[in-house]
Amino acid sequence: MQNSKGVLAGTDNLGRRFVRVVLSGLPMALLLGGIGSAALRAEAFVAERAVVQILTSSQVPVYDAPWRFQPVQRSSGTGFVIEGGRILTNAHVIAWAKQILVRRYQDPRLLPARLVFAGHDCDLALLELIDPTELAEVKPLEFGELPEVRSTVVTAGYPAGGDQMSFTRGVVSRIEVQPYAHPGNRALLAVQTDAAINPGNSGGPVIQDDKVVGVAFQGMPGLQNAGFFIPPEVIQHFLDDIKDGRYDGFPMAGVTFYDLQNSAYRRLLGLPDDGRGARVDALRANGPAERVLKPDDVLLEANGYVVGSDGLVLYKGNRVTVAVVFQELQAGQVLRLKVWRDGGPLEVDLPLEAYDGDRLNGRQYDEPPRYFIHGGLVFTSLSANYLDSASDGGRGGVRDELAQLAFELHHLPVESPAAARTEPVVLSSVLPHPVNADFGVRGQALVNRINGVRITCLEDVKRALLEHKGERHRFEFWGPKYGPLDALDRAAATAANADILRTYGIVSSERL
Amino acid sequence: MKNLLSLGGLSSLPRSLSLAPIVLALAVAFVPAAAQAQPMLRTAPDWTRSLVTVEITFNAHDAFQPWNNPTVSTRKHGLVVAPGDVLTTAQYLPTHTLVRLQKGGRGRWYDARVKWWDAQTNLALLTTEAPDFWSGLKPAELMTTVPAGPEFNLVRWREGNLESRRADFSRFIVSEGALGFAPQMIMEVSTDIGGRLGWAEIVERDGRVAGLTTYGTSRLCGAMPASFIRRVLTAYRAGGFAGLGHFDFTWQPGSNPGLVTDLGLSGAPRGAVVNKPGKAKGEAGLQAGDILLEIGGFAIDSEGDYLDPDYGHLQLENLATRAHFSGEKLPMKILRADKEMTLDYVIPEANFEKETVPREVFYAPPAYVVAGGLIFQPLSQAFLRGWGDDWRKNAPFRLQYYQYAEPPDGRKSLVVLSGVLPDDINLGYQDALMLVVDKVNGQTVATLTDLTGALAAPKDGVHRFEFMKGRGLQRLILDAATLDAATKRVVEHYGIPAATRL
């Protein structure tokens, strides 16, 4: 299975900016060049019994036909046993999984597993075997510290190119906050290494001095010898988060900082040219930061970390964006900030909150899309997943109506929060039936109003249609003020519902 | 903008979506049988005496360095239509620096003068003061009504020889002009003549011109019909050409019986439904939900077409230019709130300058302001096309989207910070790119003139630039005391001829 192209974990769920480099077809010797030193053998020996292969059968929904799923895809990734007998891996390895099987080192059996927690924002997931005693004899791997740049690390996993466990070695190239491809709209601390990280490596441990210093997770197109792994800071944050039995996710303060390197700007704010402080440029409406910060506040320190005028802090020997300090805390914890406001320093406490207000903006997993079907009209949530499927990933260029959807989804909430809808609804398609044969709008249209009711979520659609008493339903698309109009006979649409669902093999008219 | 740090979901940029142009829907023409029954007369017209070659050298638009005037030369065809008048399409002429004419496909080039050009009609008249040029040439005859084929000839100069090849009539369609956005009826013909078409080659039959090509591939091309050209030239020569108009409302077919019934229509569906009114208010204004039943006396069917007496079923947009110019009244019979009524729609002028994001800015050299190394330009489609042939895919999505949705505050034009020429004064802003200006020193900026006016009034010793609320940088500051000196330094350092061109 590993040799079949396109079914390897890590190849299916990665976003536009980060796509794993596929090296299938290269000779093994080339892939694993450098293996064989005594040090490597010693490190690998400790790790290999705890490293498992994860075989997943997954089914991704069809976002523009939301009652359907794509064909089952099989993929494989890597995981490793940690304290408590559970298996840590990448969230993208098990996303949309219908079945998870684990293969232990040198064990022919396939052991069924289940998902315990998934942190899609940090691309980590925790699994456990259905029969946890199978791992009773396995010594869990322990976590180490953030490795130093230039130090050597070893990866272990089951990448493409063979069936057995593979090890690669490399140095830590750099440590920065990087976009995480799996969520698509989050950036967290990540470590770059020149150790080969290939499809199938995903979720595997990166080891230094017998301890796990990372989880291999993504590559970057166009770069050679550059793989990325999730560092212990992020892993520990995930593990701490789930201790209360619930995953909240990384807090999002809702503030955008910008460099403060222009001397005129510094002078205006009364700051010397001493290379300190990043300026608050924008605040998310109703976010926690908006309650304590103001535009043009200058962040001088965050939890004791001195913030440079380039917006970076010295974090464990690395210059990293100040975001990393915010991300150290859990939702509910308070960040102590030293800011410069109105010509003087000020200390403020910023309570951090988990934030999922932009979930439709990023890629979603494991929860099939919401929808409502009436009279053959298929309504679903406007989301990045929907837009990707409707626009073929943007490859073929985008038409007017999709541009409007993209604006509504990505820009309106930032530009005009008051005008933004909680859950923009799109008419994704019309299932042809005599009752809707004359309906002119056939899909990919934002639903503005139905029977005069402004649509802010799918429940509004259902209410507006089911509570209407008039002879016909009136639809207004696009907006904000004008757009295509349409109408549907109320009684005929209601009467046709069962027939339409039967004709198109749809089990339920809604998933709300 | 690598240094824009985000902790709150503000920084993740969506994939850049490219936009498709608004293209008017096409309507296939079904031509009355009488027009098809005309006999085919085979003659051998001497097009060498009417068809000439035009060479145009013009300034191309350098979107990212608007002070540059790169020149490009191209050749196309011209048609002698009257003594002293060579007709051609207006394409490439708006920014011409040199125009020359050649007859007979070879030999001497004559310096020419552009007497008139109009972007919306896509027509131009050229002349030359050299008497030699005109000797031996004779005006071509333009058809009054263009028959729907079936056969024409496509004639062009190619490497010094006249080339003529059969062109089969395909259809009449209504589309935006090749240069402007006013609707025009276009005749599409197919031919196997090869090479790229659309260089004002002529489509002719029996020695009379049926049209000038305006676009094409190697096998299919669109031609502006001679009947349209005649009408425009007649009006122009009589001093009565007011420019082409267009319909500034949007509509949809009234083909859903449920919808038109809901809007008050009884009987079979007919008419088109207005879904976005134009700018006219009051008695002359349309409203969303109005059903257009007749325009200029022509009944509108439920597809949004009318039956043209010469060209068959055509899209209603053609009625904006078929027999009228801008500013003229066009009676419209509509159904509103169950009642039929007539209103006199005044046809708005199709004018790039009235667009928030003008498609073309070629009426004057590209305008810009360089202030302290920051480069400001009007936001236009001409600017967006700087991203190349794939500009709809590659140009910043948010800038493109202003073409589709006007700014909420109703400002009529926009200014964009298009780049930064690095200098000490703008240190820290090197990545501030492609941002639409909201205010400068507290004053709303819709034009470069607004911008320069606002720069005259710094506050607290600084110039404050604020950008439209969104995902990009929100504001920046420049030192006021040193701005002029810095601008002078930048202009010299980067070899810019002038800091400002308004």
Cis omega (within 30 of 0) for bond into A232: no
Catalytic residue among A12, A123, A297, A358: A123
Mind listing the pLDDT tens digit for each residue in A224-236? 889 999 999 999 9
φ, ψ at A59 (rounded to 5°): -140, 115
For residue B283, which of B329, B347, B344, B349 has the smallest C-alpha distance? B344
Please give the span between the terminal C-alpha atoms of chain B, in angstroms, as a whole number: 29
Mind listing the pLDDT tens digit for each residue in A120-147? 999 999 999 999 999 998 999 999 999 9
Residues A295 and A232 in one domain: no
Last residue of a domain, one of A301, A320, A351: A351
Mutation site for B-interface testing, chosen from A320, A325, A350, A438 by largest number of B Cβ within 10 Å: A438
CB contact under 8 A, B5 and A321: yes
> Nearest 5 degrees, angle CA B285-CA B287-CA B291?
105
**A22, pLDDT greater than 60:** no
CA distance, residue A443 to nearest chain B CA (Å): 15
> Residue B363: what pLDDT?
83
Residues A401 and A298 in one domain: no
Chain A contact for B253 (CB, 8 A cutoff): yes
Position A89 in a domain: yes
Low-confidence ranges of chain B (pLDDT < 70): 1-44
Residue with tokens 């207005």: B274
Residues A340 and A396 in one domain: no
CB contact under 8 A, B288 and A482: yes
Mind listing the pLDDT tens digit for each residue in A59-117? 999 999 999 999 999 999 999 999 999 999 999 999 999 999 999 998 999 999 999 99
Domain ranges of chain B: 31-241, 250-346, 353-501
Which positions 408-427 of B are in contact with A (Cβ < 8 Å)? 408, 425-427
- Is the separation of the CB atoms in A376 and A432 below 8 Å? yes
Mutation site for A-interface testing, chosen from B7, B15, B438 by largest number of A Cβ within 10 Å: B7
Residues A239 and A278 in one domain: no
In chain B, what's the furthest Cα-to-Cα distance? 81
CA distance, residue A437 to nearest chain B CA (Å): 9
Position A240 in a domain: yes
Mutation site for B-interface testing, chosen from A19, A257, A409, A411 by largest number of B Cβ within 10 Å: A411
> Residue A269: what pLDDT?
97
Name the residue in chain B with its Cα closest to that of A484. Answer: B275
Position A250 in a domain: no
DSSP annotation of B354 reads: G
Chain A contact for B394 (CB, 8 A cutoff): no
Position A362 in a domain: no
Cis omega (within 30 of 0) for bond into B150: yes
Cα gap A193→A155, rounded to integer Å: 10
The CATH number of whichever domain residue A298 belongs to comes to 2.30.42.10
Our count of domains for chain A comes to: 3
Q: How many separate helices (H) and strands (E) can be counted in chain A?
A: 12, 28
Cα gap B134→A245, rounded to integer Å: 92
Instruction: Say whether A489 is catalytic.
Output: no
Mutation site for B-interface testing, chosen from A309, A485, A488 by largest number of B Cβ within 10 Å: A485
Q: What is the 3-state secondary structure (H, E, C) of A116-141?
A: EEEECCCCEEEEEECCHHHHCCCCCE
**A485, pLDDT greater than 90:** yes
Q: Which helix (H) or strand (E) holds B215?
A: strand B208-216
Cα gap A468→B387, rounded to integer Å: 49
Residues A213 and A312 in one domain: no
Residues A176 and A299 in one domain: no
> Residue B265: what pLDDT?
95
With bands split at pLDDT 50, 70 and 90, how would you rate the model's confidence at A17? Answer: very low
Catalytic residue among A202, A383, A391, A429: A202
Instruction: Say whether A244 is catalytic.
Output: no
Last residue of a domain, one of A293, A321, A351: A351
> Nearest 5 degrees, angle CA B23-CA B29-CA B32?
160
Please give the span between the terminal C-alpha atoms of chain A, in angstroms, as a whole number: 36
**DSSP assignments along B424-481, one per residue:** GGGTT-TT--SEEEEEETTEE-SSHHHHHHHHT--BTTEEEEEE-SSSS--EEEEEST
With bands split at pLDDT 50, 70 and 90, how would you rate the model's confidence at A393? Answer: low
Is domain B250-346 annotated with CATH 3.90.1260.10?
A: no
Chain A hits for B5, CB-CB cut-off 8 Å, are 256-258, 278, 311, 321-323
Query: B208-216 and B141-142: which strand pairing?
Result: parallel
The beta strands (E) that lie in A399-490 are given as 425-430, 445-450, 453-454, 472-477, 485-489
Position A364 in a domain: no
> Residue B426: what pLDDT?
97
Cα gap B388→B333, rounded to integer Å: 44
Q: Containing domain of residue A53, as a range?
A: 28-244
Residue with tokens 């276009």: B186
Of B18, B460, B474, the CB nearest to A397: B18
Chain B hits for A384, CB-CB cut-off 8 Å, are 14
Could you please state the CATH topology (level 3) that the domain comprising B31-241 is classified under: Thrombin, subunit H (2.40.10)
Cα gap B127→A458, rounded to integer Å: 65
Chain A contact for B220 (CB, 8 A cutoff): no
> Residue A389: what pLDDT?
87
> Residue B42: what pLDDT?
46
| Cβ partners under 8 Å of residue A480, min gap 6 | A419, A448
- Would the CA dihedral through B5, B11, B17, B21 be positive or negative? negative
> Residue A223: what pLDDT?
83
CB contact under 8 A, B259 and A260: no
Cα gap B225→B144, rounded to integer Å: 9
Who wins on pLDDT, B392 or A340? A340
CB contact under 8 A, A289 and B20: no
> Residue A46: what pLDDT?
62
Cα gap A17→A14, rounded to integer Å: 8
Chain A to chain B Cβ contacts (< 8 Å): 206
The predicted model gives A437-448 an average pLDDT of 95
Cα gap A388→A246, rounded to integer Å: 30
pLDDT over 90, % of chain A: 81
Who wins on pLDDT, B4 or A495? A495
Distance of alpha carbon A508 from the chain centroid: 28
CB contact under 8 A, B14 and A384: yes
The CATH number of whichever domain residue A158 belongs to comes to 2.40.10.120
Position A178 in a domain: yes
Measured CA distances, A372 to A367, A379, A469, B29, B447 (Å): 15, 5, 19, 41, 46
Chain A hits for B3, CB-CB cut-off 8 Å, are 258-259, 310-311
> Into which CATH architecture does domain B353-501 fall?
Alpha-Beta Barrel (3.20)
φ, ψ at B263 (rounded to 5°): -85, 0
Torsion of CA A452, A453, A459, A464, to 10 degrees: -40
Q: Which two tokens stand for residue B395?
A: 């140009």
Q: Please list the alpha-helical segments (H only) found in A199-358.
A: 232-241, 263-268, 288-292, 323-328
| Cβ partners under 8 Å of residue A158, min gap 6 | A2, A53, A76, A77, A78, A164, A165, A166, A200, A201, A204
Of B8, B17, B478, the CB nearest to A402: B17
Q: Other CB atoms closer than 10 Å to residue A59's CB: what's the count?
A: 15
Q: Other CB atoms closer than 10 Å to residue A88's CB: what's the count?
A: 25
Measured CA distances, B233 to A500, B85, B108 (Å): 58, 11, 28
Q: Other CB atoms closer than 10 Å to residue B111's CB: what's the count?
A: 12
CA distance, residue A474 to nearest chain B CA (Å): 8
Instruction: Say whether A202 is catalytic.
Output: yes
Measured CA distances, A4 to A24, A158, B93 (Å): 9, 13, 58
Chain A contact for B342 (CB, 8 A cutoff): no
Measured CA distances, A71 to A57, A60, A62, A96, A371 (Å): 10, 8, 10, 12, 20
Residues A175 and A82 in one domain: yes
